[in-house]
């Protein structure tokens, strides 16, 4: 229908500034963000409030937040076309997060596997924020009446909780929140650790050989891929029990656009050495333009600040509409 301009559907996602993003974050999340940014009305956030659930130093938090913001722009997200903002710059997130805590059951939050994993990993600091992490994430999403949330598979359970909380609130009062849907890319959804390929690649892994950081040089990338754990079969094919090779095939496929069949044909009769060399080259080529743009942006802090300020203003305008509706429905005394 030529004459009716449909409003674009809305997309929101966020990433924690807990370190330089990894190839897993990039292929599983950020690249999808870029792909969606043309066709949807998008908001992307640096989830700094979430990142203090794990202890960090003030200097690291500040630097990593700036770096993550610059990285969003470096992967090609345009601050004029998308809303790029930092979560703590929009207080409505904390405000709605608190309210949603009161509409989420202790039992359902206790079932979150990320909470169980993170409390085992940081046994000396199992704080209430870690437990309430998914309700703050629900607030991030629900404030913007979001249609789709691009995430890696590890966040599916959190999104399910956000949907349940939204439905519960809508049922108790009246239609307030749009119930969001997950958007999970096919291949990059779960990039694995290079050292323990049964685990996901994670930027907070203590073993730097397990992940490729978007800041790694070509040499470092090649070395890490060369030392990736594989198996003794010596044949490049996707199969059960070949987690290491499956993972490298996934990475190669994401970077080159080739299917698994094409990759198997390309490396038929060749060893893992050849294959790893090709994977390294493909990753280096994929990351080169991102790294160059990142370096340029980090040299212009004033511009980054200006964009973050404008992003927060645009996000706040949308967020406060939902927040005031929620506050009215709950029954808070509203004056003025
Ligand atoms: P941390 O190690 O600090 O817990 P993380 O590397 O797991 O962090 P997050 O900031 O929690 O990354 O996630 C950012 C986005 O990247 C999320 O959408 C998440 O689903 C996605 N993601 C994280 N790790 C992977 C991975 N290995 N493969 C694919 N997607 C991933
Ligand atoms: N919990 C997510 C980061 C995150 C997020 C969000 C993702 C915070 N708020 C809202 C999507 C939508 C993570 O750890 N990957």
> Distance between CA atoms of 212 and 202, rounded to whole angstroms?
9
Alpha helices in the chain (DSSP H): 23-25, 31-36, 48-51, 58-74, 92-101, 106-110, 113-121, 128-142, 156-172, 218-226, 243-256, 260-266, 272-298, 301-330
Tell me which ligand sits closest to the C-alpha of residue 22.
1
What pLDDT, on a 0 to 100 scale, did the predictor assign at position 187? 54
> Distance between CA atoms of 139 and 295, rounded to whole angstroms?
33
The answer to whether residues 176 and 100 touch, using CB atoms and an 8 Å cutoff, is: no
State the DSSP string of 62-95.
HHHHHHHHHHHHHTT--TTTSEEEEGGGSTHHHH
The answer to whether residues 193 and 211 touch, using CB atoms and an 8 Å cutoff, is: yes
Asked if residue 154 has its Cβ within 6 Å of ligand 1, the reply is yes
What pLDDT, on a 0 to 100 scale, did the predictor assign at position 78? 97
> Distance between CA atoms of 175 and 171, rounded to whole angstroms?
7
Ligand 2 neighbours by CB, cut-off 6 Å = 12-16, 47, 50, 137, 140-141, 149, 151, 155, 158
> Distance between CA atoms of 66 and 80, rounded to whole angstroms?
18
> Distance between CA atoms of 211 and 262, rounded to whole angstroms?
25
pTM (2 decimals)?
0.91
**208-236 residue pLDDT tens:** 999 999 999 999 999 999 999 999 999 99
CA 45 to chain centre: 9
Q: Token match 């490396």: residue?
A: 267
Span from the CA of 152 to the centroid of ligand 1 (angstroms): 7
Instruction: Extract the tokens encoding 84.
Output: 């790029």
**181-199 residue pLDDT tens:** 999 876 566 899 999 999 9
Quick one: which of 152, 149, 131 has its CA closest to 45?
149
Mapping DSSP to helix (H, G, I), strand (E, B) and coil, where does residue 3 land?
A: coil
Span from the CA of 24 to the centroid of ligand 1 (angstroms): 7
CB atoms within 10 A of CB 254: 22
DSSP tag of 275: H
Q: Token match 């090709």: residue?
A: 278
The answer to whether residues 180 and 214 touch, using CB atoms and an 8 Å cutoff, is: no
Pairing relation of β-strands 148-150 and 83-86? unpaired
Across the range 103-110, mean pLDDT stands at 96
* Ligand 2 atom at minimum distance from 15 CA: 3
**163-185 residue pLDDT tens:** 999 999 999 999 999 999 999 87
Across the range 50-74, mean pLDDT stands at 96
């Amino acid at each position: 229908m030529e004459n009716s301009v449909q409003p674009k559907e809305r997309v929101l996602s966020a990433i924690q500034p807990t370190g330089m993003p990894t190839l897993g974050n990039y292929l599983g999340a950020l690249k999808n963000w870029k792909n969606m940014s043309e066709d949807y009305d998008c908001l992307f956030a640096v989830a700094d409030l979430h990142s203090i659930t794990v202890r960090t130093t003030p200097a690291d938090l500040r630097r990593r937040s700036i770096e993550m913001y610059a990285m969003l722009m470096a992967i090609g997200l345009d601050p004029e076309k998308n809303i790029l903002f930092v979560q703590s710059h929009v207080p409505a997130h904390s405000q709605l997060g608190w309210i949603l805590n009161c509409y989420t059951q202790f039992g359902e939050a206790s079932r979150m596997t990320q909470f169980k994993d993170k409390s085992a990993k940081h046994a000396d600091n199992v704080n209430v924020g870690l437990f309430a992490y998914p309700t703050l994430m629900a607030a991030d999403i629900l404030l913007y009446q979001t249609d789709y949330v691009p995430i890696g598979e590890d966040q599916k359970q959190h999104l399910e909780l956000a949907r349940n909380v939204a439905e519960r609130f809508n049922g108790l009062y009246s239609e307030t929140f749009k119930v969001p849907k997950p958007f999970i890319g096919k291949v990059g959804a779960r990039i694995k650790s290079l050292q323990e390929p049964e685990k996901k690649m994670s930027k907070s892994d203590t073993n730097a050989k397990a992940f490729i950081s978007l800041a790694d040089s070509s040499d470092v990338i090649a070395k890490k891929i060369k030392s990736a754990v594989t198996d003794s079969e010596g044949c490049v094919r996707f199969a059960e029990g070949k987690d290491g090779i499956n993972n490298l095939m996934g990475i190669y496929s994401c970077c080159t656009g080739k299917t698994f069949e094409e990759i198997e044909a390309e490396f038929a009769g060749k060893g893992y050495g050849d294959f790893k060399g090709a994977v390294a080259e493909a990753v280096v080529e994929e990351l080169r333009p991102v790294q160059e743009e990142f370096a340029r942006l980090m040299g212009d802090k004033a511009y980054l600040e200006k964009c973050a300020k404008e992003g927060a203003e645009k996000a706040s305008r949308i967020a406060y509409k939902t927040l005031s509706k929620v506050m009215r429905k709950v029954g808070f005394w509203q004056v003025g």
